[in-house]
Amino acid sequence: VNALKLLLIELLHRLLDPSLAAFGATSAQHLLQTLNVLMLKLLQNAKRDWALAALLDLLGARAADEAQREVCGLLIRCVGKLNKTLVEAAPHLDLASVVGAIERLQAALAESQRDAAGGGEGPVGASTAAKAIEASRETLRALSLSRADELLLMLRKEAPLPQGGSRHSGRSSSRSQTPSRSPA
């Protein structure tokens, strides 16, 4: 996943590289198209869970940096492209890695907002943060369409216990668990 993150961020930086203009308008346009095709092919051919986790982690790592607004915008668009076919791919994903990346993204955005409120460096623009949150919610929606039982079970296990100490307050603890689905 780390190698994928490095490749993704390198392609994103190249797509935003202002020095491409030095090649002339036609050449720069061809280079941009080629880089865009490379990015799309990378996303299409990488394991979907790795690609989503990498994109969400990269987005979370850059959410607090105002200078990374354009990179965040491209990352959000990439997540959106993967979300379009996520329902079909969901049965084959490592759910924990994708949900973990969503949690890390949301934690990074929350920390960025706390820093802004506390007088630290401000978060990336509110609209960019809102788009990042919406992209992660869209990922969760797509996952829930295909793997709702597993997703709910995973989220219940991670939820903190209520004050009384019992997660099911009076319910029988002999509930059956949904078996995990293995990739076909």
* Cα distance between residue 42 and residue 15, in whole Å: 14
pLDDT of residue 119: 57
What's the pLDDT tens digit per position in 79-125?
999 999 999 999 999 999 999 999 999 999 888 877 767 655 544 56
What's the pLDDT tens digit per position in 22-70?
999 999 999 999 999 999 999 999 999 999 999 999 999 997 787 899 9
Q: Which two tokens stand for residue 118?
A: 């506390």
Contact between 11 and 35 under an 8 Å Cβ cutoff? The reply is yes
> Is the pTM above the cut of 0.85?
no
* Cα distance between residue 92 and residue 122, in whole Å: 38
* Cα distance between residue 140 and residue 135, in whole Å: 9
Phi-psi region of 169 (alpha: psi -120 to 50; beta: other; left: phi over 0): left
